[in-house]
């Protein structure tokens, strides 16, 4: 009897896995290593079906103080499901030389609590899949702290240049639109 229940459970989980994979948008296919951790961030598992703000960051940029506003935005909307993903990059030659230093800037200097990855390539032919997908739906980042607002279906609703602050009314409106978007499973 126990063996039969286990077999049924195994069969049901095998059927459910492809269904979950089908619900994950192409934009979120992949993993990133979490900043200062051996753990991976499975983009589908963590962000699929959720409103998302993706920002490419740098530790020694004139825009680095935006971490404070991004953290405030995350705190304001996380109860409504918003996720924020910071992706450090040295593509514009302003990222720290080590993950330890990047982590200090993010976590100690600015109190970041949203997801941060290890430094990645975010522009050009060597950009990671996430940023290739963001660029395909919008545009590639032209500098550090370029922001993408992604709805629950994995579609870029809006993108904002580095000069746009986290409390900008247009950015807030896009975030609220992403929060209001229906999950992929509920699309008609």
- Mind telling me the catalytic residues? 61
**Both structure tokens of 95:** 């990222």
117: left (phi over 0), alpha (psi -120 to 50) or beta: beta
* Residue 84 β-bridge partners: 53
**Both structure tokens of 31:** 């993993």
* Alpha-helix residue ranges (DSSP H) falling in the chain: 2-23, 43-47, 66-77, 99-103, 129-137, 169-180
d(CA 66, CA 72): 10
Contact indicator for 148, 86 with CB cutoff of 8 Å = no
50: left (phi over 0), alpha (psi -120 to 50) or beta: beta
The residue count for the chain:
188
């Amino acid at each position: 009897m126990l063996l039969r229940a286990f077999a049924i459970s195994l069969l049901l989980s095998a059927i459910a896995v492809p269904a979950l994979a089908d619900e994950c948008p192409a934009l979120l296919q992949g993993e990133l290593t979490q900043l200062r951790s051996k753990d991976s961030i499975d983009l589908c598992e963590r962000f699929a079906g959720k409103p998302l703000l993706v920002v490419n960051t740098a530790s020694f940029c004139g825009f680095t103080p935006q971490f404070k506003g991004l953290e405030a935005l995350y705190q304001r909307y996380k109860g409504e499901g918003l996720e924020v993903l910071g992706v450090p990059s040295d593509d514009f030659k302003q990222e720290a030389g080590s993950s330890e230093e990047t982590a200090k800037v993010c976590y100690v200097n600015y109190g970041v609590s949203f997801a941060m990855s290890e430094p990645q390539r975010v522009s050009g032919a060597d950009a990671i899949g996430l940023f290739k997908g963001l660029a395909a739906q919008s545009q590639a980042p032209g500098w550090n702290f370029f922001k993408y607002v992604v709805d629950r279906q994995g579609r870029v609703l809006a993108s904002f240049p580095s000069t746009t602050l986290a409390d900008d009314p247009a950015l807030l409106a896009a975030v609220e639109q992403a929060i209001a978007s229906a999950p992929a499973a509920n699309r008609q």
